[in-house]
């Protein structure tokens, strides 16, 4: 991989797709060569090309499968590549278009984080525990994108059960950052961010429990959005911490995120946490002026612990917003120092409860030749879960145990309410809160492996948002001293995803950071 300064806008010729790692045997195709390489196009451009017949969905899908075969062995972004299924879906999309039944996403390839259940395809959650699990149904998000006519290229690597900030806890090995193969891509949606950054897929689904969309998007120089809690159905999305998890999107640009969120969002009666709230057309107001937008900068986020290169890139981006007519005010989030302990008590407690179902009795990994039922439970869980998942289950079980519930879990929930109130008060002074996504650019692989607390501190700016249930975004705004990407975090009030997307789109119309390519 080359530095961003060396890459420019040169184009890579697509390779024929053959039998590659994770690609189902028997798939071959020949690609036509187009004047502009298809993988560099945005969703809007891809949709327009399909509509005008510049290429078919089958040709487009084959081009992305070729890139997966070429680059995935280095990046390890995909757990499963569904080449045959993708080509069949592409052929169906082409037929649908020929019949005049195509929508804006019909025939466009994408990939799912391997936390979403996909009927007939392995859904592993990055864990040995579910290495043999084939989902019998589609998650609501998957079903909605299937209905929109999108083509699934495969399932993306992730931290085991979404627990991690580096994508190093996956049973299938770490994902590499396309900008620097020695760096982590962020987590837990590292596979989604790396795949989009390397243009192995134009867009990918992801989930965010404490920053797992925004942090990898920042580390990989792409755009990601976590909607308001309850905006996107969690049905069929394997749970880590049920009061914090939320599905979202990682893509090249805010416009791409808006297109996909249009198809994903909406009420689902099968999810008791999904809110019956009208969903606007997120693409409708993207071009609107942002003059008069009030930007709040939290004092607590620009002090000790934030690296200078990240701070400079973030402030430069805020300055660009000011040039577009926004105004800046300083705000306070007084309970910010308590976010890390509050979050991890709640998240680990909920993880302890949610992961109790994986006991070797019904599905998932089961140990060989158990002596009795207790031995089966203990060995199956000990063999099936990795070290980080075991650590979180143990801490969560302790926090929920008799004698400690009031001291830890109940107190954390009270602090959570104070953190949410901080945001509500701050958003009375401004329209959008902006700041860093992470304290630094992407760190080196293995550098935090022996220090879980240091790893947890990587989420210090992102996880307060999940405690409050607010929508947030990360957009690329430059590069750090080590030539690794920097992201800007943007936060708005409940159900204000449209405002975030509009502000991000206006910034991206006046900058080119989101167009930089890792490979």
One pLDDT digit (tens) per residue for the chain, 519 residues: 544 444 443 333 333 333 233 343 334 443 444 434 788 899 999 999 999 999 999 999 999 999 999 999 999 999 999 999 999 999 999 999 999 999 999 999 999 999 999 999 999 999 999 999 999 999 999 999 999 999 999 999 999 999 999 999 999 999 999 999 999 999 999 999 999 999 999 999 999 999 999 999 999 999 999 999 999 999 999 999 999 999 999 999 999 999 999 999 999 999 999 999 999 999 998 989 999 999 999 999 999 999 999 999 999 999 999 999 999 999 999 999 999 999 999 999 999 999 999 999 999 999 999 999 999 999 999 999 999 999 999 999 999 999 899 999 999 999 999 999 999 999 999 999 999 999 999 999 999 988 888 899 999 999 999 999 999 999 999 999 999 999 999 999 999 999 999 999 999 999 999 999 988
Q: Which residues contact 254 (CB under 8 A, 6 or more apart)?
A: 223, 225, 286, 473, 475, 500, 501, 504, 505, 508
Cα gap 77→185, rounded to integer Å: 10
Structure confidence at residue 1 (pLDDT): 54
Task: Kindly give, in sequence order, each residue whose CB lies less than 8 Å from that of residue 168, ignoring residues fewer than 6 positions away.
Answer: 159, 174, 184, 187, 445, 446, 449
Which of the residues are catalytic? 113, 188, 212
Q: What is the model's pLDDT at position 518?
A: 87
What are the residues whose beta carbons fall under 8 Å from the beta carbon of 67, sequence distance 6 or more?
A: 12, 14, 15, 39, 198, 199, 200
Which residue reads 């409860």 in tokens?
Answer: 353
Which residue reads 């409940």 in tokens? 494
Tokens of 161: 């059960």
CA distances from 83 to 21, 90, 194 (A): 11, 10, 19
Which residue from 174, 93, 170, 127 is spatially nearest to 355, judged by alpha carbons? 127
Q: What value, to the nearest 5°, has the Cα angle with vertex 223 and ends 120 and 251?
A: 35
- Looking at the whole model, is its pTM more than 0.75? yes
Burial of 301 (0-12, 13-18, 19+ CB in 10 A): buried
pLDDT of residue 64: 96
Closest CA to 435 of 309, 297, 317: 297
How far apart CA 127 and CA 132 sit, in angstroms, is 10
Alpha-carbon distance values, 193 to 26, 268, 518 (Å): 29, 26, 11
CA distances 92 to 126, 133, 227, 461, 498, Å, are: 30, 27, 30, 43, 32
| Half-sphere exposure at residue 277, Cβ-oriented, CA atoms within 13 angstroms | 17
CA distance 388 to 361: 22
Ordered structural domains, the chain, with CATH: 4-264 (3.90.1300.10)
pLDDT at 37: 76
CA dist 131 and 255 (Å) reads: 35
CA dist list (Å): 85 to 60, 89, 213: 14, 6, 26
Distance CA 63, CA 32 (A): 9
**Predicted local confidence at residue 36, as pLDDT:** 47
């Amino acid at each position: 991989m080359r530095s961003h300064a060396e890459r420019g806008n040169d184009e890579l010729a697509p390779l024929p797709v053959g039998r590659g790692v994770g690609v189902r045997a028997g798939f071959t195709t020949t690609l036509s060569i187009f004047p502009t390489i298809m993988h560099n196009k945005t969703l809007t451009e891809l949709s327009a090309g399909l509509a005008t017949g510049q290429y078919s969905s089958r040709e487009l899908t084959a081009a992305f499968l070729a890139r997966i075969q070429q680059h995935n062995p280095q990046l390890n972004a995909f757990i499963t590549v569904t080449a045959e299924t993708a080509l069949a879906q592409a052929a169906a999309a082409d037929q649908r278009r020929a019949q005049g039944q195509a929508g804006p996403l019909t025939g466009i390839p994408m990939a799912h984080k391997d936390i979403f259940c996909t009927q007939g395809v392995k859904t592993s959650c990055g864990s040995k525990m579910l290495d043999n699990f084939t989902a019998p149904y589609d998650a609501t998000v998957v079903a909605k994108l299937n209905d929109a006519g999108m083509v699934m290229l495969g399932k993306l690597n992730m931290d085991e059960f979404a627990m991690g900030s580096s994508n190093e806890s996956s049973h299938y090995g770490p994902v590499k950052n396309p900008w620097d193969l020695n760096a982590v891509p962020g987590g837990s949606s590292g596979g989604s961010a790396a795949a989009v950054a390397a243009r192995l897929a134009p867009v990918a689904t992801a989930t965010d429990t404490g920053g797992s969309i925004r942090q990898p998007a920042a580390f990989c120089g792409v755009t990601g959005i976590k909607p308001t809690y309850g905006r996107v159905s969690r049905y069929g999305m394997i749970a880590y911490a049920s009061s914090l998890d939320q599905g979202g999107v990682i893509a090249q640009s805010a416009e791409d995120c808006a297109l996909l969120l249009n198809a994903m969002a909406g009420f689902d009666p099968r999810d008791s946490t999904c809110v019956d709230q009208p969903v606007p057309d997120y693409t409708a107001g993207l071009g609107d002026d942002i003059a008069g937008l009030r930007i709040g900068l939290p004092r607590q986020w620009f002090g000790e612990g934030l690296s200078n290169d990240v701070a400079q890139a973030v402030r430069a981006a805020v300055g660009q917003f000011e040039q577009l007519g926004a105004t800046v005010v300083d705000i306070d989030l007084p309970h910010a120092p308590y976010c890390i302990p509050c979050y991890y008590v709640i998240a680990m407690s909920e993880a302890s409860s949610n992961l109790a179902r994986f006991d070797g009795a019904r599905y998932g990994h089961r140990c060989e030749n158990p002596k009795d039922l207790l031995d089966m439970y203990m060995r199956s869980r000990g063999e099936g879960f990795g070290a980080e998942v075991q650590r979180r289950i143990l801490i969560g079980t302790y926090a929920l145990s008799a004698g400690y519930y009031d001291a830890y879990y109940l107190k954390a929930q009270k602090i959570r309410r104070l953190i949410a109130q901080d945001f509500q008060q701050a958003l009375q002074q401004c329209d959008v809160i902006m700041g860093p996504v992470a304290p630094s650019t992407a760190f080196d692989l293995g550098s935090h492996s022996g220090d879980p607390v240091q790893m947890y501190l990587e989420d210090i700016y992102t996880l307060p948002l999940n405690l409050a249930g607010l929508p947030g975004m990360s957009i690329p705004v430059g590069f750090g001293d080590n030539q690794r990407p920097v992201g800007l975090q943007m936060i708005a009030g409940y159900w204000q995803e449209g405002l975030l997307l509009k502000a991000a789109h206006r910034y991206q119309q006046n900058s080119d950071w989101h167009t930089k390519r890792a490979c």
